[in-house]
Amino acid sequence: SSLFHLCFISIDRYVAVTDPLVYPTKFTVSVSGVCISISWILPIVYSGAVFYTGVSDDGMEELVSALNCIGGCQIVVNQEWVLISVLIFFIPSLIMVILYGKIFIVAKQQALKIENTGSKAESESYKLRVAKRERKAAKTLGVTVVAFMISWLPYTIDILIDAFMGFITPAYIYEICCWGAYYNSAMNPLIYALFYPWFRKAMKVVLTEGLFNDSSSTISLFSE
């Protein structure tokens, strides 16, 4: 689900940076709702097929029955479903890499324009200010995407190797890859805190004063 969310967000940021004035008309609430629905429905269908139908371990029944799952258990998936998993990982990842590459090219061009705004018309100046704000958001999400890929790439490579080379990976390596993927969820708050002062302030409020404190509702998170 995280991968599809990041992919849709990268598309969103690409349009926001390259055409910030038209962006609000293209990415409406209904469009966002469709993207969110797809991001949840597809993973649920895929996970259901892998874990509950048994089709993912067709032809591997003997190996599954011989597994010792004390302390942990490796998921056994046949080659066809591993290839599907790898494609599900790499195709959105490739889309994100291409889009963020284009975003940073456009961002560099816009940065040069900002340096030469001088006596530009007010509307053009506004467009550049909006573009600057969107570039910061794109940069933050770009770091989030890189962190996601670093976290999940070892696991993806591991299941690919195991499927085609007879599950040769030691159990502890598999566990490390799994936990590396799990810890990706803990990275996102750290990334947001790094880029956004208001997020750091919000986290401080949550950790020190609590959400249900009466004073928390009146705290301003943004600079005046």
Choice among 56-60, 84-88, 177-181 with the minimum mean pLDDT = 56-60
In the prediction, which pLDDT does 105 show? 82
**DSSP letter string, 90-159:** HHHHHHHHHHHHHHHHHHHHHHHHHHT-TT--HHHHHHHHHHHHHHHHHHHHHHHHHHHHHHHHHHHHHH
Q: Do residues 174 and 207 share a domain? A: no
Whether 169 is covered by a domain: the verdict is yes
Residue 221 structural domain: 192-224
For 180, residues 6+ apart whose C-beta sits below 8 A from its C-beta are 151, 152, 154, 155
Q: Is residue 187 part of a domain?
A: no
CATH for 115: 1.20.1070.10
pTM recorded for the entire structure: 0.71
Examine the domain organization and report whether 78 and 19 are in the same domain: yes
pLDDT in tens, 99-155: 888 887 877 776 666 656 554 555 556 566 666 666 677 777 778 888 888 999 999
199/150 same-domain check = no
Q: Could you tell me if 114 and 25 are in contact, meaning their C-beta atoms sit under 8 angstroms apart?
A: no
CA distance to 189, 190, 207, per residue, from 216 (Å): 20, 22, 11
C-alpha of 66 from chain center: 36
- Tell me the mean pLDDT in the region 194-212: 72
Residues 211 and 144 in one domain: no
The per-residue pLDDT for 122 is 52
Do 86 and 166 lie in a common domain?
A: yes
Q: How many domains does the chain have?
A: 2
